[in-house]
Amino acid sequence: MKRKSIPCLLLAAAVTVGTLTGCSANADSASTGASSTGASSAASSAATSDSAIQPCEVTFWHAMTGQQETTLTELTDQFNSENEYGITVTLVNQGSYDDLSTKLTANAAADTLPDLSQAYNSWLIPYLDKVVHLDDFVANDYDNYEDIMESYREETSQFGFINAMPFNKSTYVYFYNKTMFDELGLEAPQTWDDLLTIGKTFLEKKNMVSLGFDDMAGMLEATLRQNGCDYVSEEGALFDTDAGQQAIDFIMEMYNNGYARLVGEDGYFSGPFSNQLIPAYIGSSTGVSYITHDGWELGVAPLPGNTEKAANTAGTNIVMFSKDANQQKAAWEYLKFLTSTDATVKWAMDTGYLPVRTSAYESETYQNFMQSDATATASYAQADAFFSSPAFDGSYDIQNAVNSKLEELILNKADGATAMKELVDAVNGAL
């Protein structure tokens, strides 16, 4: 027995040593993190100094594929050949959003982040000290920042400084089968009551479930906001109010009456919607490329509201991590180019994402484009109602907790009061 216990002890010791090494590695990255805070304050000096930019290479990590990547490459080639400073931007595809996020986390720890990367705000929280503050660049060297859509400006300054420039933005819209709606004499919904009427009509006349949501947590947040109620903050759930109760009652009514259903294994409603198995769903505007409508007409409408209008926005922004002043200035030139009216119009028309500037929406080219593109029109129609989910330590856990809790409540056909209590517990428990 004694002989056996020695290896066991050593085994435990080995594990401890391993853990300690891990800890010291973290401490290491924390200290380099501190030094890069110095680099971000260097951003201000880089922005204000007038010295010309030296030729250099700027690396941009992204998660764009297919047509999106083609257009991004075209725009980047244009920038590389046209810029007067000899800046070369190198695009690096890093897989999906999840892969890109993992890769950024690893490189933040090793202090080898790229000059630029696509990122959601929620990813940045562990290494926010490595993000270059763009305030001085915007103040000294940017053409009409007020022209950027207000909700995007709010989103990219939620940490108290400008942490990114908006890039591939989308919004949730209401896709519907116009042929079926016409047949039943229905119009696209404007309000929650319309959704209930549509649900009732489809159930009675065609025995069909009439609505689905690709993103459950996003649905809850939008519905709360449509009733003038806040969702969550770092302190926990904010929706335990009368307005919140109304919103949750409405959601449970939709599901319990069979007016709405959960998504299947494929994770998106574009499949069943294309097959006319569901007459309408709410999902990302970029999902339109996955909808095939053979023999029926596709309709796209802004999200319905109740006391207010509210529409989720999705899609990433571009964050700068460069430490060197010259690199920062070069990267900024590229960001200026990508968010310019012409570039954002081209980007939006080719990819189905939305322009980031008001002047882009108002440009003749995009106005003409909207006349033939129902998704773009519907997205623009709700531009005043855009909101983005707040990102903070734990916001991702809340999203996961809410997604599974909502699913459970719907499967159990819970009543509104139970749903409220359990959702509040789920949110607060995730923090």
Partner 1 sequence: MKSRKPSSVAARIAQYAVLCLGAIFTLLPFLWMISSSLKTPAEIVKIPPVMVPAVAQWSNYATAWAAAPFGRYLINTVIVTILTTVGVLITSVLSAFAFSRLKFPGKDLVFSLFMATLMIPGEMLIITNFMTITKLKWIDTYQAMVVPWISNVFYIYLLTQFFLQVPDALYLAAKVDKCSDLKFMVRIMVPMNKSAITTIAILNIIGSWNSFLWPLLVTNSQEMRVLSTGLIRFQTEAGTSYELVMAASCILVMPIVLIFLFLRKYVLEGVAFNGVKG
The single residue among 21, 35, 158, 412 that binds partner 1, judged by CB under 8 A, is 21
The 10 Å CB-count burial string (b at 16+, else e) for 330-339 is bbbbbbbbbb
Closest CA to 382 of 174, 126, 214: 174
Applying CB under 8 A, does 31 fall inside the site for partner 1? no
SS3 content of the chain, % helix, strand, coil (to 5): 55, 15, 30
Applying CB under 8 A, does 295 fall inside the site for partner 1? no
Applying CB under 8 A, does 319 fall inside the site for partner 1? no
Query: How far apart are CB 323 and partner 1 at their closest, in Å?
Result: 15
Instruction: Give the x-and-dash track for 255-294 against partner 1 (CB under 8 A).
Output: -----------x-x-xxx-xx-x-----xx-xx-xx-x-x
The 10 Å CB-count burial string (b at 16+, else e) for 218-251 is bbbbbbbbbbbbebbeeeebebbbebbbbbbebb
The single residue among 2, 5, 6, 81 that binds partner 1, judged by CB under 8 A, is 6
Applying CB under 8 A, does 14 fall inside the site for partner 1? yes
Closest CA to 173 of 424, 34, 377: 377
Closest CA to 211 of 267, 273, 265, 155: 273
Which C-beta is closer to partner 1: that of 178 or that of 405?
178
The single residue among 37, 44, 80, 102 that binds partner 1, judged by CB under 8 A, is 102
Which C-beta is closer to partner 1: that of 22 or that of 38?
22
Task: Find out whether 94 and 100 touch, Cβ atoms under 8 Å.
Answer: yes
Instruction: Give the x-and-dash track for 40-59 against partner 1 (CB under 8 A).
Output: -------------------x
Q: In sequence order, which ranges of 49-177 are alpha helices (DSSP H)?
A: 66-82, 97-109, 121-124, 135-140, 150-155
Applying CB under 8 A, does 86 fall inside the site for partner 1? no
Contacting residues toward partner 1, per CB under 8 A:
6-8, 10-11, 14-15, 18, 21-22, 25, 29, 59, 65-66, 68, 92-97, 99, 102-103, 105-107, 109-110, 112, 170, 266, 268, 270-272, 274-275, 277, 283-284, 286-287, 289-290, 292, 294, 314-315
